[in-house]
Amino acid sequence: MSKPLDYENLNENVKKCQYAVRGELYLRASELQKEGKKIIFTNVGNPHALGQKPLTFPRQVIALCQAPFLLDDPNVGLIFPADAIARAKQFLAMTSGGLGAYSDSRGIPGVRKEVAEFIERRDGYPSDPELIFLTDGASKGVMQILNSVIRGPSDGILVPVPQYPLYSASIQLLGGSLVPYFLEETANWGLDINDLRQSVAQARFKGITVRAMVIINPGNPTGQCLSVANLKQIIQFCHQENLVLLGDEVYQQNIYQDERPFISARKVLLDMGPPISKELQLVSFHTVSKGYWGECGQRGGYFEMTNIPPKAVEEIYKVASISLSPNVPGQIFMGLMVNPPKPGDISYDQYVRESKGILESLRRRAHMMTDGFNSCRNVVCAMYSFPQIRLPPRAIEAANKLGKAPDVLYCLRLLEATGISTVPGSDIELDYHGDEDATDPGEKIVNPPWYVVGRVFTDKFINPKSLSDAMGKAWRLGEGMAVRELENNVFIF
Amino acid sequence: MRRFVSHKARNLITKTSTISSTICSSSTISPLNSLSPAAAALRFLSTLHPHSMDSITIDTINPKVLKCEYAVRGEIVTIAQKLQQDLKDNPGSHPFDEILYCNIGNPQSLAQQPITFFREVLALCDHPSILDKSETQGLFSADAIERAFQILDQIPGRATGAYSHSQGIKGLRDTIASGIEARDGFPADPNDLFLTDGASPAVHMMMQLLIRSENDGILCPIPQYPLYSASIALHGGTLVPYYLDEQTGWGLEISELEHQLNTAKSNGIDVRALVVINPGNPTGQVLGEANQREIVEFCKKEGLVLLADEVYQENVYVPDKKFHSFKKITRSMGYGEKDISLVSFQSVSKGFYGECGKRGGYMEITGFSPEVREQIYKLASVNLCSNISGQILASLVMSPPKVGDESYESFSAEKEAVLSSLARRAQALQDALNSLEGVTCNRAEGAMYLFPRINLPDKAIKAAEEAKTAPDAFYAKLLLNATGIVVVPGSGFRQVPGTWHFRCTILPQEEKIPAIVSRLTEFHKKFMDEFCG
């Protein structure tokens, strides 16, 4: 007998949706781990899983909020510093009923105020706490906003390729259309406005109304930081095309170089002045999962809306209220992240010491990993490296036989041989364009390129030589196969 | 790679410019003649597009978003928040000195204290570096320390700050599965469990899987908890109502299910699932075992997924009723994986612990094919994982301290105090409501709510019509303005047309109940005097 809910009668949008970060490779990696193999997960930015210790101060404050009866215990000072105790009391006073009560569906007003103050310090422009919604991690916020925007398959969202799979998955689930735009690998994964125009024109030709544009800055998975000039162009472009700009800025703390600091889309917009600063619709996202905090398990995040009309804000609020409220401990983490210990506080020195330690280690590992993948020039910040590999025809044939994209097969083999878990580029919205290539005599590319995304959290030092060896072993396609490193992160097999 | 795509785009645009010149007058494109064909096409396409309509405004927002409603946090609550601010700024400006929130099942916001043992364990898991310190033993109970160690050992890398498996941490799922087994007397599989941020995301996930278009229907009780109507609307499906019988204590009649199913079918609706809320929200009834068996048979016969909202399973207040999970009922009938598709929802927000802010919960799914389970896993993975603190708490509520544990006595005392007090509050409010003119109220056998019916006089209904509001919302607003008591109008839950109700939680502190009763009684009398004359 067939089941009432069978694969055949599932919502088609669910079937269409792919989520690479936790797809086939992740499952296979988990299996290998169960079999006792040591797997280095580099595919989800999840630093605590790789041994990064949490910062002490926020954990002390949360523990006290969890167990408020400790605050009355005369011995509490034996294991908790006075500023953590004071901070816990302050947070509990902001809530109506501590961590165990639903908060306002937009988040605790006091925490939203702290977020607004943080934004003001960062950008130099005041921010309105009423336009800041706290969420269970940034991905929930992205879902909420996309759900408000997408009405059907003819609504399109501009998403950078390569992209973080959250966007393709969410857009598919919500039944909208993903309109890709391409980052320029040779220009440090920068943005080319002419490309954007082409993407929009192409989408319109297919009857798709492009309604919003996602930028991921600093970038995931490619790791680029956008320049002010580039951000200005993007803002102008969105304004001309009347698109909502969705600024995914969750990596704003992860800058591993000094020459190009993070600048928020909001600051650039407001610097541009009216009329555009009063017209362009912008939603900016942030989280406690990334940065050097890396508190992924807490699911804390926020989005801030600029120039979204009050009636639309009300609707977004209504949808948030159906889920009652974001988790309260995650909200407190967000409050702590945007308002950490200050100079003069008892915990300040320890906080700074720990933060520096983590950031330096991340910086070191970012360079190690990218050196390993030999794409150092392209990766200036954030937690990812994105090397390009060129696969031999035999490898592509083998993959086709198995019904897998060649780079998926590559990643699977790499995983089996070395225990390094990566995400294949093809899952991140890169298609095989073999047919078109053949018809273009102007292009000199013989084999289509494939990509592997590797993330930098590994304790192992990886040099180019040993990586080449590992890749060679990973392939095992036949006898006597050689791996040679060409210029510019291209490996030839 | 980018080059290939740009090339593809160029080709397309070249084609486009040819098409556009055939469908438009040449004067439109003549100013562009000096540009290259591709650039001209681009400009031209941009002009085709009306700009004023595109970004997020009330006119362009997803219409499904506009359509959904969630009354528990609707207009009445907004008014209440304004009144509260008013009272703070100008004390004495209203005939009451505080707002009494009876609108939402949020016990700790009304001063219910958390269960100490649960919070001890959570605090230790959040800050594990104190576990080894001797001072910690003076501040925490020994079994809480031991449990925290156990839980941390179940978490890969002992990392509470890491994303977990998208179904939830395996060790915690093992614990929950044992808890379900202990509750039901039938085995539970940790791989059937999906830990979620409260029960609401789990319900959303199931609706997302089930609903393909407005032709897909979900059978829901009326009155219902508006999460169901809202999530069905958001996912673009059709709510197929079945009415609970108020006369028989909100009884669920199979004949009514059959009748509504057939009506829906004849309207071309493909009914996919049946929602049962047990104990009921907002209606407070606890289903009898025989009734549950009939429901299972009905779902099996009609090929419906049974969505069992069992978040109030620990909230039963009357000695003649007992909670039975649908999982237990199906297994005791001899039905297994092959016979029926069942989803059971549980939450840490309810029960005697009432940990709403933690957003912990789970769903147990049985009777689905491996392909479907994979799709559910995929959906869960898009959100990476639910919050870890909530996951730990979900494992704790399903495996509380046992006889012999150091915390057992204090835990039992705390639990008993909450549940017996809730039972007394339910009784007091129910008696008070039944003594009002024109009001009848079924008993709250379980859950956290009373759902009294108010027979409103014609004059009141007319006044409501003039104020362009539902009569029960009209009543609720006047009640709020006169007494500071916040209730949710029955229309937010849907009800038999022509009948009017409101939902009132039994959660205000016990010492406040007499004041609520007297204020409500006084208001109701005045209201009836005004509108009956």
Write out pLDDT tens, residues B14-48: 343 333 333 333 333 333 334 444 444 444 444 44
Q: Give the pLDDT of residue B194.
A: 98
H helical segments located in A73-227: 82-94, 109-123, 137-149, 165-173, 193-205
Residue A445 has pLDDT above 90, yes or no: no
Question: Which residue is closest to A244 within chain B, CA to CA?
Answer: B55
Q: Quick one: average pLDDT of B294-320? A: 96
Question: Which residue is closest to B166 within chain A, CA to CA?
Answer: A22
Write out pLDDT tens, residues A410-438: 666 665 555 455 655 554 333 222 222 22
Q: Give the pLDDT of residue A330.
A: 96
Residue A190 has pLDDT above 90, yes or no: no
Residue A157 has pLDDT above 80, yes or no: yes
**CB-based contact A66:A84 (threshold 8 Å):** no
Residues in chain B with CB shorter than 8 Å from the CB of A443 are: 3-4, 7
Neighbour-count burial of B265, counting CB atoms closer than 10 A to its CB (0-12 exposed, 13-18 middle, 19+ buried): middle
- CA B287 – CA B268 distance, rounded (Å): 30
Kindly list the domain boundaries of chain A, sorted by start residue.
7-51+356-476, 98-338
Q: Quick one: average pLDDT of B273-280? A: 97
For chain B, say whether A322 makes contact (Cβ under 8 Å).
yes
Inspect the interface and report whether the beta carbons of B120 and A102 lie closer than 8 Å: no
Q: How far is A117 from chain B (nearest CA, A)?
A: 23
Least confident interval from A11-15, A63-67, A249-253, B139-143: A11-15
Nearest to A5 among B136, B235, B372 (CB): B372
Q: Give the pLDDT of residue B12.
A: 37
Question: Which residue is closest to B389 within chain A, CA to CA?
Answer: A298
ipTM of the complex: 0.84
Write out pLDDT tens, residues A119-150: 999 999 999 999 999 999 999 999 999 999 99
**CB-based contact B474:B417 (threshold 8 Å):** no
For chain B, say whether A441 makes contact (Cβ under 8 Å).
no
Inspect the interface and report whether the beta carbons of B138 and A54 lie closer than 8 Å: no
Q: Quick one: average pLDDT of B337-351? A: 96
Inspect the interface and report whether the beta carbons of A96 and B208 lie closer than 8 Å: no
Residues in chain A with CB shorter than 8 Å from the CB of B166 are: 22
List the one residue out of B228, B235, B260 whose CA is nearest residue B494: B228
- CA A448 – CA A183 distance, rounded (Å): 17
Residue A343 has pLDDT above 60, yes or no: yes
Residue B301 banded pLDDT, cuts 50, 70, 90: very high
- CA B140 – CA A456 distance, rounded (Å): 39
Q: Give the pLDDT of residue B389.
A: 96
Least confident interval from A95-109, B32-46, B71-85, B244-258: B32-46
Residues in chain B with CB shorter than 8 Å from the CB of A309 are: 56-58
Q: Tally C-beta pairs within 8 A across A and B.
A: 371
Correct CATH for A7-51+356-476 of 3.40.1390.10, 3.90.1150.10, 1.20.58.1610, 3.40.30.10: 3.90.1150.10
Q: Quick one: average pLDDT of A102-109? A: 94
Nearest to B357 among A9, A78, A103 (CB): A103
* Chain A from 234 to 263: CB within 8 A of any B CB: 240-244
B471-483 vs B75-89: helix axis angle to the nearest 10? 10
**CB-based contact B289:B297 (threshold 8 Å):** no
Q: Quick one: average pLDDT of B178-189? A: 97
Q: Could you tell me the two tokens for B462?
A: 């007319």
Residue B113 banded pLDDT, cuts 50, 70, 90: very high
pTM of the model: 0.82
Greater confidence, B141 or A13?
B141
Inspect the interface and report whether the beta carbons of B114 and A51 lie closer than 8 Å: no
Inspect the interface and report whether the beta carbons of B3 and A445 lie closer than 8 Å: yes
Candidates A102, A154, A428, A490: best to mutate against B (most CBs of B within 10 A) is: A102
Residue B293 has pLDDT above 70, yes or no: yes
A454: DSSP letter: E
Residue B51 banded pLDDT, cuts 50, 70, 90: very low
**CB-based contact A200:A194 (threshold 8 Å):** no
The DSSP bridge pattern shows strands A491-492 and A484-485 to be antiparallel
- CA A69 – CA A59 distance, rounded (Å): 17
Task: Compute the mean pLDDT over every residue in chain A, rounded to the nearest whole number.
Answer: 75
Nearest to B56 among A21, A281, A437 (CB): A281
- CA B273 – CA A347 distance, rounded (Å): 54
Q: Is the dihedral of CA A64, A65, A67, A69 positive or negative?
A: positive
Residues in chain B with CB shorter than 8 Å from the CB of A449 are: 1
Q: Give the pLDDT of residue B367.
A: 95
Q: Could you tell me the two tokens for B101?
A: 């929130």
**Type of residue numbered A40:** I
Share of chain A above pLDDT 70, in %: 65
Where residue B438 falls (left for φ over 0; alpha for ψ -120 to 50; beta otherwise) is: left
Residues in chain B with CB shorter than 8 Å from the CB of A312 are: 56-58, 61
Inspect the interface and report whether the beta carbons of B127 and A63 lie closer than 8 Å: yes
Q: Give the pLDDT of residue B214.
A: 94
**CB-based contact B310:B278 (threshold 8 Å):** yes
H helical segments located in B337-470: 370-382, 388-397, 408-434, 458-466
B148: DSSP letter: H
Q: Quick one: average pLDDT of B5-18? A: 38
Residue A492 has pLDDT above 50, yes or no: no
Residue A292 banded pLDDT, cuts 50, 70, 90: confident
List the one residue out of A274, A279, A334, A281 whose CA is nearest residue A305: A281
Residue A192 banded pLDDT, cuts 50, 70, 90: confident
Write out pLDDT tens, residues B450-482: 999 999 999 999 999 999 999 999 999 999 999
B412: DSSP letter: H
B218 SS3 class: strand
Greater confidence, B4 or A188?
A188
CATH fold of the domain at A98-338: Aspartate Aminotransferase; domain 2 (3.40.640)
Greater confidence, B268 or A8?
B268
A406-418 vs A464-475: helix axis angle to the nearest 10? 110
A96 SS3 class: coil
* Chain A from 177 to 236: CB within 8 A of any B CB: 180, 182-185, 195, 197-202, 204-205, 209, 211-212
Q: Give the pLDDT of residue B157.
A: 81
Residues in chain B with CB shorter than 8 Å from the CB of A26 are: 381
For chain B, say whether A24 makes contact (Cβ under 8 Å).
no
Question: Which residue is closest to B209 within chain A, CA to CA?
Answer: A11
The partner residues of A453 in beta bridges, in order of sequence, read: A423
Q: Give the pLDDT of residue A487.
A: 30
Residue A188 banded pLDDT, cuts 50, 70, 90: low
A237 SS3 class: helix
State the number of CA atoms in the 13 A half-sphere of B169 facing the CB: 29
Q: How far is B435 from chain A (nearest CA, A)?
A: 32
Q: Give the pLDDT of residue A368.
A: 63
Q: Give the pLDDT of residue A446.
A: 28
Least confident interval from A348-352, A364-368, B226-230: A364-368
Q: Give the pLDDT of residue B476.
A: 96
Question: Which residue is closest to A138 within chain B, CA to CA?
Answer: B383
Do domains A7-51+356-476 and A98-338 share one topology? The answer is no
Place of tokens 């048979």: B297
